[in-house]
Structure 1
């Protein structure tokens, strides 16, 4: 009998926040805020620059000095430090959730909003970290961890959520390398991939948030940009896939729509489409917590961002978000590096339904420019009217928070488009962004090493190896006979 499945490890044994004792979602950072504050003399406070703390013991202070040097380059002799933000998330969550379309919260960036964006971004990143993409594994395409152990295995227990159900999808469309399949003839599935999860905040976190939060997190593709060529799929009426819509002019990208609605009756996991799985689970949770204040927050990166927007539209259009009392549960999307999803009527219909969407993008990332690179919301109004029924005229939705990776003194010059698109890099940029024209200053102890977890984006002087995240021995373990084998899962059904 083989030993249990090995966990993902970091070469520095500080994967995510393990080196730091604070609880990230509850921590209120000190940063420039929209409130009045004095200009203070720059403080040599080791606590404020303690991203170095996670690496100092490993490199005899060398990396510490390099980090300090970069901090000196990034900051003036005097910097603006905001006073401690004493607001409680429970009192302001509706604004953080987009009640006023984040008016006045993006420039400068509201510290509570920053904290929430990073937390939801980490919940989207968890979809990548938990995905078994090893084609030599018989479990390729599944989640590595059981739902009950999901956040614990990923070091995210501090986020205060519990997985309610996993989402699986079946794909028949031509999206290269979107689905990972095992080469093993006894694979767990050749037609299904794990693509995300539905989670709900526990009692303690709900008290902190001011409501019970239902979160849907979608995974993007795991290859760099191979699927971008497929973004030029034509637009189709969303109602063609039995998603209710009163306006036949509402169209979305056909590939995203197929992935969201496809099912495979021969596959136990995909007898119901991803759409049907989500609607059923959200409906069940709303009924379960009907006596509480509720919110629905949907997050995703890249392709996952497109699916997040599509599922938010679906939840609102079908009325799943309406409680028995008639109260509508607020629905918000925190999107990262997302492509355009539909046409202008799709955008307008989302606004009519009251779905709030905040899109976080790196201005150098090419993915948010597609599809509709040439025909999009920026063309003249007269041409936009003529192209309303076009199969190629796309429009972005919601509010955009634009970041620039060149503002970070920790990131190197590179032509690698995959680095520009990397989710961990976006979270790093959020951590240091204060507003347009303001200095890049990290506000938390979020480890910069996470940027290189699956990329090569940090400057070499920080001595963080590129793509350091790895599974010990690529998932092989010695059995009792001493042979290296793929460990069996005691009960594979526990991972579904």
Structure 2
């Protein structure tokens, strides 16, 4: 005799099939909503934890029944992104949200609009992972899966309100095997390049809504593997070694970050300009278009996770030092990033150039604690100056927002450091964070299933498989002859024809 399952449980098994040409990212949004009560009020929420089933006596139907009645830790609100209450507030207070007051009084308790903005920019950083071709058996491994004109649409983010204006590439001829990916095909899209991020700009409708034209730079980092830390971190180098116009050679950055940012390969179509030159030229072009020609108010926001966080800090500093930003304010929203430079870099970044940075970290993640384990920003400034000549004298820049994954009742106990470092986990923690000592309550309809997209962090009784994100049939299609093949992609863009002009305006011509 069959057992009838609750209607809310059945919904879990009746999710729509994946579209043949879509990734799995957009098809998880209803997984947790199937168990969300319609009119649950925040005061009635109770924090409860439940151990994963360990006996054979508990049947699947009873497990699903428990899941359907479990407190989901939600606060009733409209989906994250553009809540009605945020629309007017953001357009009038975006300067404070982006650090004009160094986020004084906005972190504990956290300002709801700031939380929403952090998640929004974090999702732009996550898009770098979701769009990157990690498949070693793909001849496009190391590239972006999607044409830039349809970037957000292909990722299920068509409502983002931004248009990608150019892709960023870095030479893979560096000793960073855990960051760069190379195809096993002999004939591949590039022998020496990897896609490393993008530049995007808000469209007219979004610009009117947020009160200014917004330029976003998103840098790709590392999903879970942390070996890149040892690959890159070696010693501090003056930023001027990379061509950044700083006369003070005491301003130093980790050599690996500086090399990745500034190295180029003139024999490679995609890397004949360094990542540095690519981003400087594009921002210069956009600032000229929107500020000088159209007279608009423009902000520059840079985001990245992990290694991408380090590149975000370096590029923010470079944009200010070279003058490519004009008078536009720059803010960095970074996630789980390492220390980047020394104490003098921190002073130049914050006090002299007026740059703003808000760093979101998980207190259990090891990456934000390196390099500079012994001498860092926590050491008294007078003592730090006495030993500033040491090669391991590092300092974080900006303001820190510390989260704790143990506060989330959705996440299980694990010793996997990759879970602590995971970007989707950070966005989940932001969604439920209200302040120090406050209980964890999700305030949006952002699906907790996204946490397990590239790790195994959700409690088992949520029935979300680990590492679930993949393309339909791993990108293979069936041709007219009945054979399964990898489809050809449209021609990959390299660099705009006027990049020389913008670089020369910045003093970065071929004679540099």
2:394 is matched with 394
Tell me which residue corresponds to 1:457.
457
After TM superposition, give the deviation of residue 477 of structure 1 in Å: 1.2
Q: Is the 8 A contact 2:223 2:422 kept in 1?
A: no
- Structure 1 pair 237–15 and aligned structure 2 pair: CA distance change class (3 A): same
Equivalent-residue separation in structure 1 for 2:481 and 2:433 (angstroms): 54
Kindly report structure 1 stretches of 4+ aligned residues shifted beyond 6 Å: 17-20
Distance (whole Å) between structure 2 residues aligned to residue 312 and residue 482 of structure 1: 50
Match of 1:221 in 2: 222
1:479 Cα deviation after fit: 1.3
Matched, 1:42 2:44: yes
Structure 1 residue 383: Cα displacement: 3.2
What does residue 175 of structure 1 align with? 176
Residue 28 of structure 1 is matched in structure 2 by none
Matches within 5 A, 1:67-82: 69-71=70-72
Q: How many residues align?
A: 446
Q: How far apart are 1:321 and its partner, in Å?
A: 1.4
Contact 1:372 1:394 in 2 (8 A): yes
Deviation of 1:475 (Å) = 1.6
The CA distance in 1 between the partners of 2:31 and 2:151, in whole Å, is: 16
Measure, in 1, the Cα distance between the counterparts of 2:98 and 2:66: 39
The CA deviation at 1:241 is 1.1
Secondary structure of the corresponding residue to residue 289 of structure 1: helix
Say if 1:431 and 1:444, in contact at 8 Å, map to a contact too: yes
* Cα distance in 1 for residues equivalent to 2:333 and 2:32: 27
The CA distance in 1 between the partners of 2:390 and 2:403, in whole Å, is 31
Describe the superposition over 1:41-62 as per-residue Cα deviations: whole angstroms up to 9, x where unpaired: 4379xxxxxxxxxxxxxx9896
Distance 1:391 1:9 in 2: 45
Please show how residues 18-417 of structure 1 align to structure 2 within 5 Å.
41-42=43-44, 65-66=66-67, 69-71=70-72, 85=85, 88-290=89-291, 291-322=295-326, 328-351=327-350, 352-417=352-417
- Please, what TM-score do these two structures have when normalized by structure 2? 0.82
Q: Tell me: higher relative CO, structure 1 or 2? Use CA pairs within 8 A at least 6 residues apart.
A: 1
Distance 1:132 1:424 in 2: 18
* 1:380 to partner: Cα distance: 3.8
* Separation of aligned partners in 2, 1:177 and 1:364: 22
User: Shift of residue 176 of structure 1?
Assistant: 2.8
Structure 1: how far apart are the matches of 2:459 and 2:262?
Answer: 42
How far is 1:231 from its partner?
4.7
CA distance in 1, matches of 2:89, 2:287: 25
How far apart, CA to CA, are the structure 2 residues paired with 1:249 and 1:178? 29
Q: Secondary structure at the match of 1:119?
A: helix
| TM-superposed deviation, 1:171 | 3.5
| Aligned counterparts of 2:235 and 2:228: Cα–Cα separation in 1 | 15
Could you state the TM-score of these two structures normalised by the residue count of structure 1? 0.85
- Relative to structure 1, the CA distance from residue 267 to residue 84 in structure 2 (aligned partners, 3 Å threshold; closer, same or farther) is closer
- The worse-fitting range, judged by mean Cα deviation, of 369-378 and 262-271 is 369-378
Distance 1:91 1:363 in 2: 33
Pairwise CA distance, 1:457: 0.3
8 A Cα contact 1:93 1:209, kept in partner: yes
Q: Is the 8 Å Cα contact of residues 337 and 361 (structure 1) preserved in structure 2?
A: yes
40 and 301 in structure 1: CA distance in 2 versus 1, 3 angstrom threshold? closer
